[in-house]
């Protein structure tokens, strides 16, 4: 029996089937693309120009605000200890979730967007979340602002430099009798003891416009916060009871931050509601009842 015609027929049939499937899938894909619903752009994640302290007109460097992603190395949710002389809040408090709303309209004379060129470091610069770095958010928040005023041109502070500085300041705070979690006033004291040529001030009960005006004037803002009210998906567990981070700018929808509690924290975006409702001082560990206060550093 001659099997050649049969083989040729089978091959031809296979080729026809393959082409048919390809045409079918191509037509289906084209239909789906033509009829797919339009996906709106994510609110608040547009590009914002970075500015530097020595200029009043934004610099030409443009950086996108990063969408948060999960990570393996994250800030520990362990509650920080208070100084030996301070009462320790040993039980988990009930969050004070009463919103600080409604927010007044933003001053129309303020720029629509600002993003200061504040260099970033995580509180664990090399990704090692040991006992020192789990509670180094205050020191990291301060050092980012100091380097900004010093005219740093890098976007991310070198790991070795950041580690050395965090360790130096923690040792200074220990010599001052401070604990691993420090209040806003103790941050002011640390800045004035540890950084020549700089002073720090507290702003109590800041409004949205207060924060935006400071940023528009070229001053980053350090924010003490009830960390679990930030809702940051990069924090492990519930997140830290007490936390501190740096505001570097704003959009119409919220604030651009350098968030030291995650290695993904450069240009991290928090909504206006999130920032304003989470502002809380250490208050001896009773963070949810802490004062609404922020810290501003100025070069002298």
Q: How confident is the model at residue 213 (pLDDT cuts 50, 70, 90)?
A: very high
β-bridge pairing 114-116 and 48-51: parallel
pLDDT over 70 percentage in the chain:
65
Residue 75: predicted pLDDT? 41
Roughly how many angstroms between the first and final C-alpha of the chain, as a whole number? 101
Burial zone of 125 (CB within 10 Å; 0-12 exposed, 13-18 middle, 19+ buried)? buried
| Structure-block tokens of residue 89 | 């809040």
- The average pLDDT across 136-151 equals 98
Angle among Cα 57, 62, 67 to the nearest 5 degrees reads 130
> Which tokens hold the place of 257?
């931050």
pLDDT by residue (tens digit) across 95-128?
A: 444 444 555 556 778 999 999 999 999 999 999 9
Residue 40's pLDDT is what? 31
CA distances from residue 51 to 23, 47, 201, 215 in whole angstroms, order as listed: 52, 13, 22, 10
- pLDDT attached to residue 54: 43
Structure tokens at 68: 């948060």
Which pLDDT does position 48 carry in this prediction?
A: 52
> Which position has the higher pLDDT, 225 or 40?
225
- The torsion angles phi and psi of 57, rounded to 5 degrees, stand at -100, 135
Instruction: Quote the CA–CA distance of 10 and 4 in Å, as a whole number.
Output: 10
Does 164 or 79 have the greater pLDDT score?
Answer: 164
Q: What mean pLDDT is reported for the chain? A: 77
Domain made up of 106-299: CATH architecture: Alpha-Beta Complex (3.90)
CA distance 256 to 22: 47
- DSSP run (H or E) holding 268: strand 266-271
For the cut 60, the answer to whether the pLDDT of residue 66 exceeds it is no
What are the structure tokens assigned to 243, written together?
Answer: 């936390």
Enumerate the domain spans of the chain. Answer: 106-299
Burial class (CB within 10 angstroms; exposed 0-12, middle 13-18, buried 19+) of 75:
buried
């Amino acid at each position: 029996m001659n099997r050649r015609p049969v083989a040729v027929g089978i091959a031809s049939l296979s080729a026809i089937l393959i082409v048919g499937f390809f045409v079918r899938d191509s037509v289906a894909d084209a239909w789906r693309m033509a009829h797919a619903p339009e996906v709106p752009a994510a609110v608040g994640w547009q590009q914002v120009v970075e500015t530097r302290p020595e200029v009043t007109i934004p610099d030409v460097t443009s950086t996108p605000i990063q969408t948060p992603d999960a990570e393996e190395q994250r800030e520990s949710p362990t509650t920080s200890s208070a100084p030996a002389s301070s009462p320790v809040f040993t039980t988990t408090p009930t969050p004070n979730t009463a919103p600080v709303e409604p927010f007044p309209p933003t001053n129309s004379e303020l720029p629509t967007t600002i993003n200061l060129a504040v260099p970033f470091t995580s509180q664990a610069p090399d990704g090692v979340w040991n006992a020192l770095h789990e509670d180094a958010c205050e020191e990291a928040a301060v050092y980012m602002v100091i380097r900004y005023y010093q005219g740093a041109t890098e976007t991310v502070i070198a790991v070795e430099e950041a580690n050395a500085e965090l360790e130096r300041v923690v040792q200074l705070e220990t010599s001052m009798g401070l604990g691993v979690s420090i209040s806003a006033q103790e941050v002011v004291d640390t800045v004035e003891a540890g950084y020549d040529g700089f002073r720090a001030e507290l702003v109590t009960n800041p409004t949205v416009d207060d924060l935006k005006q400071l940023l528009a004037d070229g001053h980053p803002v350090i924010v003490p916060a009830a960390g679990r009210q930030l809702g940051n998906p990069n924090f492990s567990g519930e997140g830290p009871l007490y936390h501190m981070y740096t505001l570097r700018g704003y959009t119409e929808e919220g604030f651009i931050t350098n968030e030291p509690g995650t290695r993904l924290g450069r240009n991290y975006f928090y909504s206006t509601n999130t920032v304003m409702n989470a502002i809380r001082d250490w208050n001896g560990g009773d963070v949810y009842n802490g004062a609404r206060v922020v810290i501003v550093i100025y070069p002298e």
